[in-house]
Structure 1
Amino acid sequence: MNEPQIVRVAFIGRTSTQDQQDPTLSIPRQFRNCTQALPSNAVIVLCFYDVESGRKKLSARGDGNAHELFEIPVPRDGSIQDLLEEAERPDRRFDVVICEEIGRIGRRTHISTNIENRLEEAGVRLVASDEPFSLDVSHRREKRSTQVLTRRVKQGVAEWYVMDMLEKSWDGFETHAEQGYNIGKPCYGYQAKRVPHPVPAKRAKGIKKTFLEPHPVEGPVVTKAFHWRAAERVGCEDIARRLNVDLVTNPPPTPPDPERAVGFWTGANVRDMLSNPKHTGHMVWNRRARKGGGRNRANPVSEWYWSTEKTHKPLVDLETFVLAQQVSLHRERSRTVSENRNPEAKRTYKLRSFLFCSCGRRMHGKSKHERAYYVCAPKKEWRPEGHPSSTPWIQERYFVEGLAAFLSSRVFGRYRQRLLEANLQAVNEDAQQDRQQRLSMVSLFSP
């Protein structure tokens, strides 16, 4: 009798991120189950596996090095990308690829079927240890309908399972934030108030949850910085300079990695502090993408989750926080003060960053014949409809004289009290008229 032909098999494995599973247990288990499912004439000759999420795009798969953090007792010959690359070569060293179950190939159906299709086009079959399969090398036509049905069902279940868990996890984090629990290092201005974990089993292990409470030293710094930003429209770099004058009263923030601390305030520190909505007393979650390909990138504000009620003592009221966020829209790329600190500057402009064109753009200063002017000259492709094609030059003295006249008559003039009363009366009359119009509209639709 002829000896049975040996089938060369490549093992493909995957375990999730290292903080959710133990690769030193998962990979050997997958390898053992695959070995036990193979017929006697099949031998695993190569092992490919990764420690990564199965929801990543195929182009991003296999580029990590998390497997190097563990002593996994299964020799590794490469990643899933190395497997696909060798499968498409004529001198490949295997004939069949086996995995423990189809979810190890990918948690998204279109990714796992794409990998399966690429292997089949290269003449390599993909089997799973938990599916019915045969490696009979005879020329008889194999019946695979049950295998295909089982695999497609399991692919759908795997994708549903992950999506269901992510949705429930999202809801859990929202509830966590709604109850006021903080995740991660407390933001500058607050300190951690640790309480026993509500789950007895976790409480017995000493695990705690964290609320936020104002830091006795850092809290007043946050309030002071928000006041400068909202009331005086001070730039982040200038706020940092003010805080650096007294680092005892205004201690700089410490990053999660203390070795990265610079020991003083920077504009980036101030910007991060002023943009953190937790200072309003609300717990806010999902400001940054921490997992997957996010790399700690900032999420859009629309994706943030705010607790409906305040969960800790605010360091700034919500109105001031909103005003502080709006300051950047009005002083983008503009200095805090009109004086130019550059020693080589020949001229400064008194109303710099305060004058806007009717198109909404900030007017900038120009000099001509030793006179100061303000102009709005957007590029042709950025010029809004109706904007003058020729650039208008307006002398600074006209703005200053008009502003001085307004202040002297309307703000500091002798008749300012009378003007204020007249304006208030006009406002009241307008409000009364608006109320009467609303009442008349209601009466029209009343039965």
Structure 2
Amino acid sequence: MISSFGPPIDLSDLPGYKLTDLRPRIPVFVGRVSTKDGTQNPASSIPRQVAHASARLKEGEEFAAYFWDVESGMLPPELRGLGPHAMYDALAVPTPRDGGLQDLVERAELLGYTHVLAERSDRLARAMLTSLTVEHELEKIGVEVVYANEPVGGTESGRLRMRRQSQVDAEVYRSVMIEMSMGGQAQHAIGGWNHGYPPYPYIAVIDENAPRPEKARFGITRPKRKLAAHPDSRRFDAASELCRLRREEHLKAADIIAILSSDPDRYPIDGKWTHTLVEGLIANPKLTGHQVYNRKATRTGRPGFSRLNPVSEWVWSPQIVHEPVVSLQEWKEAQKVTAALRAGDQRSTSLARLRATAARRGLTVSQVSSNATHTLYRIGARQVAVPSSLPDVIVQQIIDDLEGTS
């Protein structure tokens, strides 16, 4: 910036009167659209952003590259631009794409970019920390970030005040949108409608009685769905049994998997039983017949990871809204057993001893049926009826019998 308090005589012919940036000016465009459908169409939004940002190019200049994403502005830079090329190609956006925000930050110094132009700051990111971080990283390598909606001229403090206010507005808008979204999702669960993929013993069916606006403001609305029992009733029985094995017999996932896998006709599964599936079903409160939301925080900043929220933050439907596999009290007891197992409190039960002996002989122990006094178990090809309390003396007799079998 040339000083308004110049010398009394013309000194412009002196060496060093004005420093010249020896680097050629190389401006690039950066933009963002939140979604690829609905009210934000990338095929029209991105070219519009380019047109607005172009107003800050000097005469005869063109953008050397175009960096834009179709992703939430709430994501940190390292999670931006990870969408597959096929998705971007399918959008048919007339503006070329040389990468996303993270690509821009990584390549700016290598390719000698000098200016990054965007329509406004929230096109960089809605989270103020992200936009500040990107600005700081680019500033360190001598790259200036320019937003087209900022005024030309004036004082640096005035420009900075407007930029930071715009970033605060974007951050506040981000918070409002999260609050509104969370509120809507909470009401969705309270109403009994399902979020996500249905658990193993259920399918998701459209609720024909759910209210549906005649014309949605933001395009076509997805129908609300409730959980219903899977057409294969054996899935309900399998889910009930694996929960019982944890709750009553204190079995680890590996033992439960062995039991379920030993009788595929009784406990059907697409593929195979896994530790993740078994533990996930035992921990899933939807098996109680209630809808539950906010169990996980998916945006943790770590790709592929979700953080479990405290139970106190979960949103439950007040009533049972679909057929339960277990009661709420039974589910609670199973969680206590799981916590004890993870803490190392593995009680040596009579049944655990029996299972260990059977396992050494390549056999599994599974419950066939039970009543108030007795339980029928299958041990390999044999069936044994024992008192439900499973006294040690009877267990020892069965163990001796197994070990004495040639």
Query: Do they fold alike, i.e. is TM over 0.5?
Result: yes
Distance 2:165 2:142 in 1: 24
- Equivalent pairs: percent with the same residue? 32
Does the Cα contact within 8 Å between 1:13 and 1:99 map onto a contact in 2?
yes
Distance 1:207 1:234 in 2: 40
1:327 maps to: 337
**Does residue 307 of the first structure (1) align with residue 325 of the second (2)?**
no
Supply the AA of the counterpart residue of 1:314.
P
Once the two structures are superposed, the pairs formed by residues 175-254 of structure 1 within 5 Å of their partners are 175-196=187-208, 197-201=210-214, 207-215=222-230, 217=233, 218-252=235-269
Distance 2:104 2:339 in 1: 51
Once the two structures are superposed, the pairs formed by residues 68-147 of structure 1 within 5 Å of their partners are 68-71=86-89, 72-88=93-109, 92=112, 94-133=113-152, 143-147=155-159
> 1:172–1:65: structure 2 CA closer, same or farther, 3 Å change rule?
closer
Q: How large is the Cα RMSD of the aligned pairs? A: 3.4
> 1:178–1:39: structure 2 CA closer, same or farther, 3 Å change rule?
same
Supply the AA of the counterpart residue of 2:29.
F
**Does residue 272 of the first structure (1) align with residue 285 of the second (2)?**
no
2:63 aligned counterpart, secondary structure: strand
Distance 1:265 1:317 in 2: 23
Offset of residue 343 of structure 1 = 4.9
2:211 aligned counterpart, secondary structure: coil
> What's the CA shift string for 1:282-308, capped at 9, x where partnerless?
211122344564625251333432223
One of 283, 286, 294 as aligned partner of 1:286: 294
Does the Cα contact within 8 Å between 1:283 and 1:306 map onto a contact in 2?
yes
Once the two structures are superposed, the pairs formed by residues 343-382 of structure 1 within 5 Å of their partners are 343=360
One of 294, 297, 311 as aligned partner of 2:306: 297
**Does residue 38 of the first structure (1) align with residue 57 of the second (2)?**
yes
Supply the AA of the counterpart residue of 2:316.
W
> What's the CA shift string for 1:45-101, capped at 9, x where partnerless?
22223333333334x155624455223332333443443455446x72x43221011
> 1:81–1:237: structure 2 CA closer, same or farther, 3 Å change rule?
closer
Does the Cα contact within 8 Å between 2:205 and 2:227 map onto a contact in 1?
yes
Tell me which moved more, 7-16 or 37-46: 37-46
> What's the CA shift string for 1:6-50, capped at 9, x where partnerless?
954221222335567543333222112212453534432222233
> What's the CA shift string for 1:318-345, capped at 9, x where partnerless?
221122122234445768622346759x
Distance 1:151 1:24 in 2: 27
Distance 1:121 1:239 in 2: 56
One of 151, 167, 175 as aligned partner of 1:155: 167
1:191 aligned counterpart, secondary structure: strand
Offset of residue 280 of structure 1 = 1.2
**Does residue 27 of the first structure (1) align with residue 35 of the second (2)?**
no
Higher RCO, Cα 8 Å, sep 6+? 2
How many residues matched?
A: 324
> 1:43–1:144: structure 2 CA closer, same or farther, 3 Å change rule?
farther
Distance 2:193 2:264 in 1: 30
Tell me which moved more, 285-294 or 197-206: 197-206
Offset of residue 116 of structure 1 = 2.6
Distance 2:197 2:107 in 1: 45
Distance 1:157 1:128 in 2: 15
> 1:168–1:250: structure 2 CA closer, same or farther, 3 Å change rule?
same
Once the two structures are superposed, the pairs formed by residues 409-420 of structure 1 within 5 Å of their partners are none
Offset of residue 111 of structure 1 = 2.6
Tell me which moved more, 239-248 or 201-210: 201-210
The structure with more radius of gyration = 1
Does the Cα contact within 8 Å between 2:79 and 2:301 map onto a contact in 1?
no
Once the two structures are superposed, the pairs formed by residues 427-438 of structure 1 within 5 Å of their partners are none
Q: Could you tell me the TM-score, scaled by structure 2's length?
A: 0.68
> 1:143–1:7: structure 2 CA closer, same or farther, 3 Å change rule?
farther
Unmatched tracts of structure 1, length 5 or more? 135-141, 253-260, 345-402, 405-447
> What's the CA shift string for 1:177-215, capped at 9, x where partnerless?
111101122212223332235223369968421112333
1:12 maps to: 30
> 1:133–1:340: structure 2 CA closer, same or farther, 3 Å change rule?
farther
> 1:27–1:292: structure 2 CA closer, same or farther, 3 Å change rule?
farther
2:7 maps to: none
